[in-house]
Amino acid sequence: MRWPWQMASPAEPRMAVSGKALELETAKEILAEVFDARPGEVEEMIQRRLEEKSWAKEEGRWPATFILSQ
Higher pLDDT, 4 or 52: 52
Is 28:39 a contact under the CB 8 Å cutoff? yes
For residue 32, tell me if it sits in a domain: yes
- Count up the domains in the chain and report the number: 1
pLDDT in tens, 10-55: 555 556 678 888 999 999 999 999 999 998 999 999 899 888 877 7
Count how many Cα atoms sit within 13 Å of the Cα of residue 12 in the half-sphere of its side chain. Answer: 3
For residue 4, tell me if it sits in a domain: no
For residue 68, tell me if it sits in a domain: no
For residue 25, tell me if it sits in a domain: yes
CA distance 54 to 61: 11
For residue 41, tell me if it sits in a domain: yes
Determine the structural domain holding residue 31 and report its residue range: 21-58
For residue 49, tell me if it sits in a domain: yes
Is 39:32 a contact under the CB 8 Å cutoff? yes
CA distance 32 to 29: 5
